[in-house]
Structure 1
Amino acid sequence: MLKLFIAALLVSSPLFAEEFQAPVTDTNWQVIESPLECSLMQTIPSFGKAGFYRRNGQPLQLTFDTDNQPAENSHVSFEMSAAPWQNTEEFDTLKRIPTSSGQRQFQIEGPLAQQALVKMQDGRFPIIRYRSQAYADEITVKLSTIKFSDSLPAFQQCLNNLYPDSFSDIRKLTVYFESERTNLDKASLQALTRVAEYVKVDDSVSQITITSHTDSFGRKRLNVPLSEARAKTIRDFFVGQYEIPAEKIIMRSFVDHDPAATNKTAKGRAYNRRAEIELIR
């Protein structure tokens, strides 16, 4: 009777606490390198993957992504193991973060992620603990340090070579023109160069719009071609200097119909003699 009771209990109850970690004999790190993102990830069987990720213009992240261990409404604890030479089973807690039901990604970023990366070079490894919907108690997920030192240099080189501007940094730009002029000054050329160089490395940019404007002074029959010429100057810079496909560039002209400031003052008119550049994904 006791055996039947235990068997029934095992069938009807959730599985007990579990630990997930890449096997010692089959631990591999995958490094992805590009001018816009770097990742150093490890597959963890029956859990998913974990590792470090950084997008240009954003902080470093330590992330754990699970395919089949969604969280309960509780919290996840990010910890670091002790170093092998410390001869202790104690762990340092980096941060505890609330979790929501069904959550499949857990991450910390910035200084905490950087701290974890540095400590891994001393043989310590990140751990997360949280309540999974599949188990009665907390589960533990460990990021192995095996072969870490082999892949780290490529990841660090990628971090050092990340493009300095992010899409949000570069997405919108306004350049200004002197009265009745279409030429670009030094500051405008430098700003447009940043945009062009970013477009060359980010394949997700599908379109560049150039919207040109004039102030309200001067005859309209002269301001229309003036406004169009300003947009064309910028388009020619992108195409001629950086070989950006012309079909990727859309030009529009509002002449003086969409002023950014009043046309009644010299300062206001200077703001209105402009071209607005926007990148679209």
Structure 2
Amino acid sequence: MLINFFFALLFALPVSAEQFQAPVTDTQWQVIESPLECSLMQSIPGFGEAGFYRRNGGALSLSFISQSHAAKQNNVLFQIAEAPWQNKEQRQTLTSQPTELGQTRFSLNGVLAQQALSQMQEGRFPVIEYPSQSYSDNVTVMLSTVKFNDSFASFQQCLSHLHPDTFGEVNKLTVYFEIEQATLTPVAKKALTRLAEYVKVDDSINQIKIASHTDNHGRRRLNEPLSDARALSIKRFLITEFEIPEQLISINSYVEAKPTASNKTPLGRAKNRRAEITLVR
């Protein structure tokens, strides 16, 4: 009886033309958890899906994604509807955005997405309304809160464990060496640790390129093995300390052929005693 009452109230909300929402008796949330992204999505029959998503280093987003109801060139209205059991028809408007002809994804980012998520925790419903090419009047799409709390805890936990670094922050790294040395300094080890920890959680990394260099101090017959040794010291560190697969790592030794600064000064030579590590997807 309670479910029937709830169902009746839910459909008592006003509709413009065609309203889409998950069935009250069969609302399904899907949580995807990884160190790099978290999503909490709901399937909406006849429309597509909607829910929340966050990539590490990025802002929270709320998206409604249609599989069959492309927009006209007009506007999409983002609203918050009161919980059906409150029996109130008014809606709070979050924002209005222009739509392009054929648009099928409608998103809020940052503060507005966080506001919508907070409203769902209080039992309210995010709603979008926009002119669709499928109907003469507007389409209304509602994100249901049914079973929301059952999945929200897992989504929150995922958000709290997102990896702190993004690909753009670690995909290029330069470490420096002392004169005639191939030993990694504590500073270099710390930087390489940060890079390796990211590689361990990002399955899209398919290559780690190491390019080693020397300054022009000393004879070339000594600098060539020194440049090789610097690259190898990085490779060994990644493999032994973090179990990075050897087949991911490639090495190029340039000796003094590609200086990044003038070799005429001590500071310039210090900048040239380096290895550059690049992550490739």
TM-score (norm 2): 0.91
2:139 maps to what in 1? 139
| Aligned pairs for 1:71-220 within 5 A | 71-83=71-83, 87-220=87-220
| Aligned pairs for 1:214-233 within 5 A | 214-233=214-233
Deviation, structure 1 residue 51:
0.2
Cα deviation digits, residues 93-132 of structure 1 (max 9, x gap): 2222221111111111111111111110101111111111
RMSD: 1.4
Deviation, structure 1 residue 17:
2.1
Secondary structure at 1:168 match in 2 = helix
Cα deviation digits, residues 218-255 of structure 1 (max 9, x gap): 11111111111101000000111111111110000111
The CA distance in 2 between the partners of 1:95 and 1:268, in whole Å, is 54
The CA distance in 2 between the partners of 1:122 and 1:219, in whole Å, is 72
Deviation, structure 1 residue 82:
2.7
Structure 1 stretches lacking a partner, 5+ long = 1-15
Instruction: Give the partner amino acid of 2:26.
Output: D
Cα deviation digits, residues 242-273 of structure 1 (max 9, x gap): 11111110000111111111111211111111
Deviation, structure 1 residue 88:
2.9
Deviation, structure 1 residue 64:
0.9
The CA distance in 2 between the partners of 1:97 and 1:225, in whole Å, is 61
Structure 2 stretches lacking a partner, 5+ long = 1-15
Runs of 4+ in 1 over 6 A off after TM superposition: none
The CA distance in 1 between the partners of 2:80 and 2:271, in whole Å, is 54
| Aligned pairs for 1:12-27 within 5 A | 17-27=17-27
Number of residue equivalences: 266
Work out whether 1:63 is the aligned partner of 2:41: no
The CA distance in 2 between the partners of 1:85 and 1:186, in whole Å, is 61
2:30 maps to what in 1? 30
1:260 maps to what in 2? 260
Cα deviation digits, residues 17-64 of structure 1 (max 9, x gap): 211111111111011111111111000011000000111111111111
1:4 maps to what in 2? none
Instruction: Give the partner amino acid of 2:20.
Output: F
Secondary structure at 1:146 match in 2 = coil
The CA distance in 1 between the partners of 2:40 and 2:268, in whole Å, is 51
Identity over aligned pairs, percent: 59
